[in-house]
């Protein structure tokens, strides 16, 4: 049956392609996507910015489709036939080891709903229809289990999402981002978060270094609502990565500037942004490599400890159980390192010792348990490290 299905797809695909009505028109320089070979394979260039990309239609469907999809043209194709083509490409991808739709996933959506999803994915490739498609797909991302593989393997989709991100760069410095621009790019980021959190696309997402495209947004400091929303959504993409507790994710993030970026937001962001940034730091610390990295030098440890200390002082005045939970967990994890534990004996904020947060934590058993364990770790003389982390005079 499997061979028969593959044969039928192979036979029907050229017939479908030949029936498509195609009109080519040269792309303008500002919107052009130039394909070029890079060390990591096929890359997509955005006006000089190159990011490694994923398998394209030419890799999955042979040279027939490559002839008219990969030559710097805008391809206008009848929607109904394109839907058939996308479905057949998806089926062919299943035969060649691509992520596929499980029966239980497929049954969750009606056939009509799936046709809408396919249409919106296709509409992402056209600047004229992209904004509406971004909005609709971002609404549906929680109810379409296989949306991430669909986005990753459909031709030009990730390139379109990255183009949405790159197009915003000129308005973040100086800060001229409007609410409409922020909403649009955040819809694109929501779809990237979907790709980042899916087990079948996460590794390729990292290998393409796509999170680096988000870092300029995390560098922004404007307090306006559009920028705060942009930072929060960008943090959500990184948060989706670290939530998986995979060493590959932590190893990648440690090669980037994510820790200082998170520390900056933990110090001056909104409560929700602080919470997500602290959660990311917590997940990095919970990894052995991450803990060793932060405690490797006094400069790294002291920066983290200083920001956590400032957060405790601020929380003593404006208490938030949700944020305090992550702060305490970070301190507890730091106490697992001998040198950091020795330093924390001297610099742990008094507010964590004197019951300042007793009322805040009265209904949070896990955080109270973590705080109690932290105190035990710091008071146990058998856990002392004679070397310690040298503190400044």
Digit-coded pLDDT (tens) for 270-296: 999 999 999 999 999 999 999 999 999
pLDDT at 18 over 90: no
β-strand 41-46 against 34-38: which pairing, if any? Answer: antiparallel
Q: Say what the pLDDT of residue 6 is.
A: 41
Average pLDDT of span 65-73: 34
Average pLDDT of span 111-134: 93
pLDDT at 92 over 90: no
The predicted-structure confidence for 197-244, as pLDDT tens digits, reads as follows 999 999 999 999 999 999 999 999 999 999 999 999 999 999 999 999
Please state, in angstroms and rounded to a whole number, the distance separating the CA atoms of residues 30 and 39.
25
Which segment of 14-28, 159-173, 227-241 scores lowest on mean pLDDT?
14-28
How many other C-beta atoms are found inside a 10 Å radius of the C-beta of residue 303? Answer: 15
Please state, in angstroms and rounded to a whole number, the distance separating the CA atoms of residues 360 and 368.
10
Q: Say what the pLDDT of residue 210 is.
A: 97
Q: Say what the pLDDT of residue 282 is.
A: 98
Q: Say what the pLDDT of residue 109 is.
A: 67
Contact between 269 and 230 under an 8 Å Cβ cutoff? The reply is no
Q: Residue 85's closest CA among 43, 44, 57?
A: 57
Q: Which residues contact 53 (CB under 8 A, 6 or more apart)?
A: 41, 42, 43, 44, 158, 159, 208
Burial of 358 (0-12, 13-18, 19+ CB in 10 A): exposed
Q: What is the mean pLDDT of the chain?
A: 78
Please state, in angstroms and rounded to a whole number, the distance separating the CA atoms of residues 218 and 165.
13
Task: Print the SS3 string covering 179-221.
Answer: HHHHHHHHHHHHHHHHHHHCCCCHHHHHHCCHHHHHHHHHCCC
Q: Say what the pLDDT of residue 383 is.
A: 58
Contact between 249 and 237 under an 8 Å Cβ cutoff? The reply is no
More confident call, 41 vs 299: 299
Q: How confident is residue 355, by pLDDT bands cut at 50, 70 and 90?
A: confident
Q: Say what the pLDDT of residue 380 is.
A: 78
């Amino acid at each position: 049956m499997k061979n028969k299905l593959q044969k039928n797809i192979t036979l029907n695909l050229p017939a479908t392609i030949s029936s498509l009505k195609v009109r080519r028109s040269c792309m303008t320089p500002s919107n052009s996507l130039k394909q070029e070979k890079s060390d990591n394979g096929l890359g997509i260039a955005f006006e000089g910015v190159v990011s490694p990309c994923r398998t394209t239609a030419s890799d999955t469907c042979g040279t027939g489709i490559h002839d008219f999809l990969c030559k710097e043209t805008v391809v206008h194709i009848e929607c109904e036939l394109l839907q058939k083509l996308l479905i057949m490409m998806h089926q062919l991808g299943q035969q060649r080891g691509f992520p596929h739709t499980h029966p239980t996933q497929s049954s969750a959506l009606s056939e009509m709903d799936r046709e809408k999803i396919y249409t919106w994915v296709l509409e992402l490739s056209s600047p004229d229809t992209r904004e509406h498609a971004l909005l609709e797909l971002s609404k549906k991302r929680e109810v379409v289990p296989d949306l991430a593989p669909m986005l990753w393997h459909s031709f030009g989709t990730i390139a379109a999402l990255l183009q949405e991100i790159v197009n915003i760069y000129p308005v973040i410095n100086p800060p001229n981002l409007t609410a409409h621009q922020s909403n649009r790019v955040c819809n694109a980021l929501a779809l990237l978060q979907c790709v980042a959190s899916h087990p079948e696309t996460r590794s390729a997402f990292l290998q393409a270094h796509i999170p680096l495209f988000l870092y300029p947004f995390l560098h922004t400091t404007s307090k306006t609502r559009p920028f705060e929303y942009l930072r929060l959504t960008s943090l959500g993409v990184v948060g989706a990565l670290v939530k998986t507790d995979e060493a590959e994710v932590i190893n990648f993030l440690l090669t980037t500037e994510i820790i200082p970026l998170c520390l900056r937001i933990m110090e001056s962001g909104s409560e929700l942004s602080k919470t997500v940034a602290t959660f990311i730091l917590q997940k990095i610390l919970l990894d052995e490599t991450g803990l060793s990295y932060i405690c490797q030098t006094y400069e790294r440890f002291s920066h983290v400890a200083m920001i956590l200390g400032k957060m405790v002082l601020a929380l003593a005045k404006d208490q938030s159980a949700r944020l305090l939970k992550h702060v305490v967990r970070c301190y507890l994890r730091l106490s697992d390192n001998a040198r950091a534990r020795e330093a924390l004996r001297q610099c742990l904020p008094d507010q964590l010792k004197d019951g300042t947060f007793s009322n805040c934590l009265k209904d949070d058993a896990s955080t109270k348990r973590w705080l109690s364990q932290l105190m035990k770790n710091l008071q146990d003389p058998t856990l002392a490290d004679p070397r310690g982390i040298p503190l400044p005079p």
